[in-house]
Every structure is written in structure tokens, then in C-alpha cells.
Amino acid sequence: MVEPSTSPLLGLDREEIAALVSEVGAPSYRAKQIMDAVYRQRVEDLEEISTLPREFRERLAQSGVTVGAARIEKKFVSQDGTVRYLIAFADGQSVETVWMPEGDGGEAGDGSEAGDLAERFAENPTSDTSRAKALSEENEPIAALKRYATQKRTTRDRTSQNGASQNQGRASSGRSTICISSQVGCAVDCQFCLTALLGVKRNLTAGEIVGQVCAVLKDQKVSPPEDRINLVFMGMGEPFLNYENFVKAARLLVEGVGIAERRMTVSTAGIVPRIHDFGGESIRPKLAISLNAPNDALRTRLMPLNKKWTLEMLMAAAREFPLRTREWITFEYVLLGGVNDTPENARETAELLRGLRCKVNLIALNPGPGIDFTTPSAERVAAFQNILREAGIPAFVRRPRGRDIYAACGQLKRTVEVATLPEPQLQSISPATEG
């Protein structure tokens, strides 16, 4: 039996919803009511849109219109508060989306306290250099970063009395980050990433990308712009290989859901033509580039797409990218023990990035089955970081989040084995040893 075709509202912009309303002969103001219900109230069924007359809702349903909300199939909770969601779609495919409370511990601009320091350092590296060096030498650098970043925190970050009364019962959310996927699987084939082992199944629609965010916001009981939520397009897939849907989703997240573009970051493995296109978008998240090696031979070994878009091409695109005021490019560098983490690699990286308005996020490999690399020691990570900083390049070590539930960077592979444990046990699993 052939299933009747449906037309989801999630993924439609204002103009498309207005056209739908006009097509069924309803007043134009119904478009705003639908837009608010789908993106701000995050309804899951037409019957929940109480602002619409029942007769109108019935007409929409008879026309095959649905909300198209994403469905949370499974949910895994880490001992550090990170939540990995398995989000299911109507065709049986699924992706993973990650909730990181209070930021991710190192992504400047994500709202985390360490991120605040990263922003401050990138804006004025000279004044903060000595302080940054001192912090990197402490036994607990993340804690030190947090203490420093909060020394001059202003009252703008405190919840107002009115906000407090409105937000009673909500999860602690003000500076949290959602990591979202853009494809089912990934075609880029980075050798150190679990997602690459899946291959690519298909692109996500704009509605499926936005739907992940709506599902997580609803589950966490938070609502932007009242709650300051940050988004990183760093989940499963390469956003720039699903460019049109990614761009439309970013626009809907700003105009519909209410998340500011300055609180979004998109990561690309280096799809050079799309980096040029991205620079001209009217609504544009911040740009992060997955670097991982300072020369073509090593980068091609780790990231086969470097054969097509070499470091020379990638760096030319980065230098031509039209940065806005107080904006910089983030370069992500996954450190693999004994492979790309030597002092010489660090010096090469510093030379490669010299003169660019940028910062580097260092990520010690998050291990997983099927990955033939090891996590470097904390000493090697610190040495790499210090060489970059001595060269005047802001460099920060990203704190791993959710390693115990396969939610950390590079670990997303729709892993369900941990689902066999009861949630209390799951929350008490010890994370993989760092270093």
C-alpha cells in the first residue's frame, strides 16, 4: 500500500507558508500564526495550533499538510551532563544531535565561560598572552579559564527577576550548546572520525536540520531568544556538501526559532568553492575549518578530500573570506598521538596560519572502535598549544564532552549499545581516560 504524500510545515519559510495559506484561501495573518506555532512554540501536531480555527486545521490535514516534527528515538545522558539524542525521521533514517550544558568548554562564541576568554584573547591577544600562558601551566586549565572569564562578568548574564519567574522549572540553559547534523552519515572519510565509517546515506532537508534543534529545545524546556542557546553545525555530515539545505536551515533558525547568527558556527572539512559562496550569504554563522595537518602529505593521509582541495587552495579561501568586525576563523585541529602532534607539526601550523585573523581549537582524539589512532598525552597537547601561543596564535584545548556515551567530537555513529544500560547506570559510567 502506497502511503499518502505529506507536506511538512517544518522547513518552510515565511514566503512559503504565506503561499500555502493563500492556496487554501485563508487570511494572510494565518501565516504568522503557523510560523510562530511551528518554530517558536514547537508544536508536533496540527491539532496543537490552537490559534487556528478547527475547520482550517482540517483543511490543512486533508491537503496532506503535517508539522513534520523530528522524533527523539533514544536519549543517552553522560555523567558530565551532555545528552546524545538519536533523532529518527519518517523514512527510517536517523542522525545524532548533542546537547552540551554550559557550552563546550573551548569554542569561542558558544557562550561558555572558557569561550568568553577565547573571544577576549582573540580580540586583544597581546594583553592576554601572559595570562593565557600562566593558565595553560596550571593543573586545572579549564577551571582556571572559567575563574578568569567570570572575574568581570556583568549583570547582563544574570537572569532578571522577571525572567527567573518565567523560567521556573526549566533546565539550566543560559549558555548551552546544541551540536546538530546536516547529513545521514558523512562522505568526507576523515580517517580519525567514527561518522566516516557510516558513509553517507542522504542529505537532510532544511526541516530535518531545524527539527533537531526544535526537538532538543522542547526536551530541555528552553526557548531562545530568552535563553541564550548556541548552535554548532559539527554533528554528522559535511554541511557544505548539503549547502542549500544548510543555508536555508540557518536562516530559519534565525528568523523562525530566534537564535542569533552570531551564536552559530559551521564547521567544514574544506569544501573550497562553498567557502567562497558562504562568504556572500546575508545570514551567515561563523566559520570553522577542520585543519588537522599543516602539510599536504599528512593532510591527504588523514583527510582524503585534500587531494581535490589542497592546503594552498584552502588557505587562499580562508585569507579571502570576508570577516566581519570582531570575527575570526576557527581552525580545528584533532591531535593524533605520534601522527600530527609533534613540535615540528605545531611550528608548521603556526607558519601556515601566520597573518590570519584566527584561533585554533585543539582536540585530543576522542577514541572509538574502528579508529586506528591513539589519544596523545596531555603533555604533548600542552606543548603543541604553547608553540602556537608563542607564535602569537590563540590556541585553546577543547574539553571533551560526553565521551562515555559516544557524544564527543568525531564519535557520532548512531551507537546504541549503551542503550542496554538503565539510565542511572549510564550516568555513572566513567569517561575514557584522557591522555
Task: Looking at 124-205, list the stretches that DSSP marks H as alpha helix, in order from N- to C-terminal side.
Answer: 125-136, 141-150, 161-166
For residues 316 and 156, give the distance between their C-alpha atoms in angstroms, rounded to a whole number: 39
Q: Which one of the listed residues 96, 113, 119, 238 is annotated catalytic?
A: 96
Bridge partners of 94?
88
205-244 residues labelled b (16+ CB within 10 A) or e (exposed): bbbbbbbbbbbbbbebebbbeebbbbbbbbbbbbbbbbbe
Angle (deg, nearest 10), helices 243-252 and 206-220: 40
- Per-residue b/e over 296-322, b at no fewer than 16 CB within 10 Å? eebbbebbebbeebbbeebbebbeebe
- Which cell numbers in the block locate residue 252? 530559519
CA distance 408 to 45: 32
Distance in angstroms (rounded) separating the CA atoms of residues 427 and 39: 31
Residue 96 a catalytic site member: yes
425 Cβ contact partners less than 8 Å away, ≥ 6 residues apart: none
Catalytic residue check, 15:
no
Helix orientation angle between 113-123 and 125-136, rounded to the nearest 10 degrees: 140
CB 308 within 8 Å of CB 330 = no
Per-residue cell: 164: 527567573
Query: 362: which DSSP letter?
Result: E
Name the catalytic one among 16, 113, 409, 417: 409
Q: Which residues are catalytic?
A: 96, 409
